[in-house]
Every structure is written in C-alpha cells, then in structure tokens.
Amino acid sequence: MKVCLIGDGLVSLTLANVLIQKDLFVDIYSVKKNNFNDQSRTLGISKSNIDFFNNEIMNIEKILWNIQKIKIFTDKNNKKELLKFDNKSNQIFSIIRNNQLQKMLFDRLKRSKFVKFIGNLNVKKNHYKLVINSDPTHPIIKKYFYRKIEKNYSSFAYTTTILHEKIKNNTAYQNFTKNGPIAFLPVSDCETSIVYSLKSLDKKNNLEMNSLVEKYNPIYSIKKINSWSSFRLRSSSLRNYYKGNILAFGDLLHKIHPLAGQGFNMSLRDIKLLSDLIDEKINLGLDLDESICHEFQKKSQSKNFIFLSGIDWVYELFNIESKINSNLLKKSINIIGSNKVVNGFLQKFADSGIRY
C-alpha cells in the first residue's frame, strides 16, 4: 500500500518514519529544499512524547537536553517565581534543535527503499489510498481546508540563542512581561534558546531585541546573542480535518501560541493516534481509506480544541495579571501552584494532553 505525504517539514518527516516501519510505501511531495543550518529554532518535547519517539520512531537521546525545573515570573514580580515546576529525579521535558531532529529524520528516510521524494506539487490523489497534507502553501488548502477558528495575537514570535558562561543549565525560565511572554530554554551548559512573543504590529530589529534579553535575563553571563528570526503569531483550529481520503495534518489542524511549547507535542500525539488507527486496519487485513480520516477526526478534534483553548486561557490569564494593579490574581496563582495535586495535574496536562 502507498501513502502520499505533502510537505517535508518536521511533522511530515516524523510521520513518514512511522509509516515506513509498517512497510508502507511513502511518496513525499515538496518543492522546498531542506535547510538544516538554522540553529535558532528549538522544540520542547514532553517526556511521554520522548518515550514514544525513542520506542516507536528512533532514539533521539543524544540530541536532547533535559529540563528538570520550570520557573515562571511576571514583570511585576521578576525576582520571585510566581509558579515553579520541579522534578529532580527526572526531566519534565527536553529541548531539541529543530534542524538536528529534521536532519536525523531526513537522513533515515533517504536510506529507505519505501520512500520517494518528489519535487513538485502535482499530486494525483486517486493514485493513493491516503493523502496527508502538512504543507500550508499547497493548493489543496484553499480548495478543501479553509474553514477554521482563528485568533490573531497581533504579535511576533522572536527566536534566537545566546552563548553564556558555563552553568548547570537544567532550569527553564518564563517571564510574562507586559509586552508578552519571554522564555529561556536551555540547550546545553553554555547555550540557551530564547522565544519572545512580543506584542507589536512592527518588527523589532536585533538591537532592540538584544536590549530586551538583557532586561529580562534571569541568570546568564551572556557572551553573545545570535541573530534573531521572527514570525507572526496566530492560533487556529480547523473545522474539518479531512475531505475524502485527504487528511490535513500538523499546524494545519491546530496552530497554537508558543508560550507552552506545545505545538509539536500536539502533532506527535496526533501521529501516535493515526499510527494506531492504521495498525487496526492492517491487522484486520483492510485497505487504508477515508474511514481512517473520519476516525482520526472523531477521536482527536475535540481533545485538540480543548487543549488549544487551555493554552490560550493561560496566555490570557497571565496577560491580565501583567496589566492589573491588584495582587489578588498573583496570590491565587501562588496558592494553586503550590498545591501538589494541582501542580501534578498541570504537569500531566502538558505532558500527555487531554485524556478521556
């Protein structure tokens, strides 16, 4: 059986590596060339998704940097953490460079007899049992997948990495500033990734962004700040996941605010679900067809929407906290965060998503 994947981004390459282990032939359509040089983009991967990656796809331990603590601050109280998550015995999540993971996945696919890379976008959907699209620029999007719930944050996400003096670097920091959340995400003992979701209609230049890093720098003795990359921030949820045997996937299904680093984690949970549905078909000796798309939407759409809404609620909650003069909200968050049961629930929510 043959499956078509449109797009060769991180989600598509990950899914392809899952499919070839089922002895499925995969055609990957893309006109873009892979670029493995950008080191400014990093991903946070939850522990449960790391276990899934290592056990079901490939072992990625050698390119992970484990995070054992998360400290959350606000502009009004940037010396004492508002919330803290701590797991001294194990990692809460791990940081990985986009380009390193993408190259590992790509190299494995290039060696596989089950994979063919096709350098055009002219997909003949009738040639495939299943067509899965994660390319937001493909014409299929405008034709079938244009209805969605969307929110514009009127913000840009800025990303870079800083080089600093060597430290024990296993704590992530997030500060909900009055202009948006800034996260410091360790990559090694002497390098840390930064993501700043800055409310602004105009792009900032490197010097302006560097000064903001210096202002909110929690602990680092900075040697160098690398160049910045940026992109507009929107969240969205697709109303219909599929049309016939064509399934939208990745960010096309759900685009989420990066403050919690959950975008790729949501897609990994989608990949696991889709993999299980395909296994059911194969084990029963049935063809892959559009019923997989229907079952996938039925089992994932409501969970994805609730999870996306939860992250947006967190963003708006801290947005309010940064604006009001009262300390009532701060005290309430402190009380909630210090409760072991609630703290544990929040960690499980971030690790595994919605379960019911």
How many folded domains does the chain comprise? 1
State what percent of residues in the chain have pLDDT above 90: 55
Q: CA-CA distance, 248 to 258, in Å (whole number)?
A: 21
* Residue range 66-84: mean pLDDT, rounded: 80
Tell me which residue has tokens 């930064």. 194
Element containing residue 185 per DSSP (H, E):
strand 180-188
pLDDT in tens, 163-182: 999 999 999 999 988 888 89
pLDDT of residue 153: 86
* Cβ within 8 Å of residue 206, ≥6 positions away: 225, 227, 228
pLDDT of residue 333: 59
CATH number reported for the structural domain that contains residue 99 in this entry: 3.50.50.60
State what percent of residues in the chain have pLDDT above 70: 85
**250: containing domain:** 2-352
pLDDT in tens, 234-255: 899 999 999 999 999 999 999 8
Angle between helices 263-283 and 10-20 (to 10 degrees): 20
**What pTM value is reported for the model?**
0.87
pLDDT in tens, 289-312: 999 999 999 999 999 998 888 888
- Per-chain mean pLDDT for the chain: 86
Q: For residue 261, which of 193, 163, 333, 326 has the smallest C-alpha distance?
A: 193
Q: CA-CA distance, 152 to 141, in Å (whole number)?
A: 19
pLDDT in tens, 312-341: 887 777 776 666 655 555 555 555 555 554
pLDDT in tens, 77-94: 666 777 777 776 677 889
pLDDT of residue 326: 53
pLDDT in tens, 86-143: 776 677 889 999 999 999 999 999 999 999 999 887 887 678 989 999 998 888 888 8
* Residue range 264-284: mean pLDDT, rounded: 95
Q: CA-CA distance, 149 to 12, in Å (whole number)?
A: 23
Q: CA-CA distance, 202 to 353, in Å (whole number)?
A: 34
